[in-house]
Amino acid sequence: MKEPLLPHLNKTPKNPMAKKHLLIAFAAVLVSGCGKSPIDMVKNTYLDGARTTTVANALSNRPLCGSTKWETYKDDKGRAVVEYLCDFVGGNDFNGERRANYIANQTKDYSGFLASERKRLEDAQARLHEDFPEIKEQIQKIDAAENRTNEAIALQGTSGSPQKTQRMLALEGTLKKLEGYSGPYNEQRMLELYLSNALKEEGFGAATIEVKMAYMNRLPPEKRANFKANEIDTQLKRLHSLLNSVRKSIAQDIEREARNAEWESRQAGQRRLDVLQRMKAQRADLVSYLESKRESARQAMASAESDIKKLEEQGSKEKIERDALIKFPVYNGAAEIFQWVVNKDGEATLVYGEIQTVISKGKTETFLKYNRPGTVLARVMQSEAKEMMEYVDELRGYAIVDMLTR
């Protein structure tokens, strides 16, 4: 049998019996027969209550082991210690595949991160180059509206100088017509006045007066004066009084309409000033918003450039390979070790188990320590692993890591 890759444990072993945290996983089993060596006693120990499987059966012909070695020595209490050592197949740089996968995955991840940050940088640069046209368009619309409002203010003012309304013009026209009436016997003026709505409501029609005038002309001269005074002049005087009242009323309406127009003009002017003020505030907000968007884009550019620089450093081939070696070191070998203590009565008790690795120049370290070595040993018979990491994955799959290993 070839020499194992790993040196066995020191002759003063890592005796878990002397440490409180180690648990005795298997009850001691009395081995029959006399004169046997401690190694034989351990090999012939049964692992099950039915006494069907011995330690030797469990640890023999394991495809995982390139070579195995049994040895015995005394601990500091004079007890016999039996040690089983299995040099793992593929134990030399067993992290190689995982290291390679780590490098490939990190390279891919950093490549994706860099692409994302470069896209972020390009987007920020594009935004600054275009300079947010949608916001600038809103500012231009407000500028155009502000110019129109200023033109209206310049044309119409804001101090209450009203334009004459259509109603004012109509009233002034009616008043002018009424002022043209100069006497109570002007039939032509009566006909014109008849056309106004104000006189229609009073029931005075030109036809009525014309009929009475024609009738008067047919009367004898001595009766005409009396008829004219009673039937025509009385109504004409009343009409003349009414015309004066209408003129006064229309003049009052014109004055009232002028006051209303002046008030409306002042209100319209104030509204223009209010609208202008709101537009100025909106424009200032948009200008501020535009600058904040520019600053945000500049910050995004700076952030992306900084992240790109960091990612290029962290994702460099040399850095990833260094990290891979730290996370998945190169080992020169690996082996599994179980230890039993055999007392003077021939009782063998499994007390320790671990996977041990060779770092360099024969220096070893514990890769995986079994909290319950007996439970792990019971799993050995079920394992079909042919390489170390496959075996470790099996162990971790059987139970929670904290329960079986640490």
| pLDDT exceeds cutoff 50 at 17 | no
pLDDT of residue 399: 58
Q: Please choose, from the candidates 148, 92, 76, 47, the residue with its C-alpha nearest in 3D space to the C-alpha of residue 378.
A: 47
Least confident of 128-137, 163-172, 202-211: 202-211
Using pLDDT thresholds of 50, 70 and 90, give the confidence band for residue 161: low
pLDDT of residue 344: 85
Using pLDDT thresholds of 50, 70 and 90, give the confidence band for residue 8: very low
- Contacts made by residues 319-327, CB under 8 angstroms, sequence distance 24+: 320/102, 320/103, 320/106, 320/107, 320/110, 321/103, 323/102, 323/106, 324/99, 324/102, 324/103, 324/106, 325/99, 327/99, 327/102
pLDDT of residue 262: 74
| pLDDT exceeds cutoff 50 at 30 | no
- Tokens (6 digits) for 91: 């134990």
Q: Please choose, from the candidates 379, 339, 336, 352, the residue with its C-alpha nearest in 3D space to the C-alpha of residue 23.
A: 352
Using pLDDT thresholds of 50, 70 and 90, give the confidence band for residue 159: low
| pLDDT exceeds cutoff 80 at 95 | yes
Q: What's the farthest any 2 CA atoms get from each other in the chain?
A: 185
Tens digits of residue pLDDT in 221-274: 877 778 777 776 776 676 666 667 767 777 787 788 777 777 777 777 788 888
pLDDT of residue 70: 96
Residues above pLDDT 90, as percent of the chain: 39
Highest mean pLDDT among 38-52, 133-147, 153-167, 383-397: 133-147
Average pLDDT score, the chain: 79
For the chain, domain boundaries: 16-95+329-404, 97-152+299-324, 159-285
> CA-to-CA distance for 317 and 275, rounded, in angstroms?
63
| pLDDT exceeds cutoff 60 at 177 | yes
| pLDDT exceeds cutoff 50 at 387 | yes
Length of the chain: 406
Q: Which residue has the higher pLDDT, 11 or 81?
A: 81
Instruction: Determine the average pLDDT of the residues in 330-347.
Output: 91
Least confident of 122-126, 168-172, 273-277, 390-394: 168-172
Q: Which CA distances in Å does 74 have to 23, 28, 102, 110?
A: 20, 18, 44, 54
